[in-house]
């Protein structure tokens, strides 16, 4: 998954504070209709979603680390994150 795709999907899902289910729903909406649920694209689609969920976990960890260190200027810029 390209990072710009991830950013677009994360924004559509509600930001860093979105759940995995919300992220997956937003990702499915960005796919073409024929590849959304077709069995031929299943393995590729699941790998693509796993990459996106990995990036989401990384951004959540960055948010938590910044929050724990007290870098509030970073935390304030991360839209959608639960505080």
pLDDT tens per residue, range 21-77:
999 999 999 888 888 888 898 999 999 999 999 999 999 888 777 666 665 555 555
Q: Within the chain, what is the greatest distance between any pair of CA atoms? A: 47
Q: Give the pLDDT confidence score for residue 51 in this predicted structure.
A: 96
pTM (2 d.p.): 0.74
Tell me if 10 sits within 8 A of 23, measured CB to CB.
yes
Q: How confident is the model at residue 78 (pLDDT cuts 50, 70, 90)?
A: low
Q: Smallest Cα–Cα separation from 49: which of 76, 20, 72?
A: 20
Virtual CA dihedral for 55, 58, 62, 65, nearest 10 degrees?
160
């Amino acid at each position: 998954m390209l990072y710009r795709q991830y950013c677009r999907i994360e924004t559509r899902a509600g930001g860093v504070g979105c759940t995995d289910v919300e992220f997956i729903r937003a990702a499915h909406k960005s796919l073409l209709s024929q590849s959304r649920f077709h069995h031929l694209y299943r393995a590729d689609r699941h790998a693509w979603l796993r990459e996106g969920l990995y990036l989401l976990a990384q951004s959540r960890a960055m948010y938590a680390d910044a929050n724990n260190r007290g870098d509030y200027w970073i935390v304030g810029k991360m839209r959608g994150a639960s505080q």
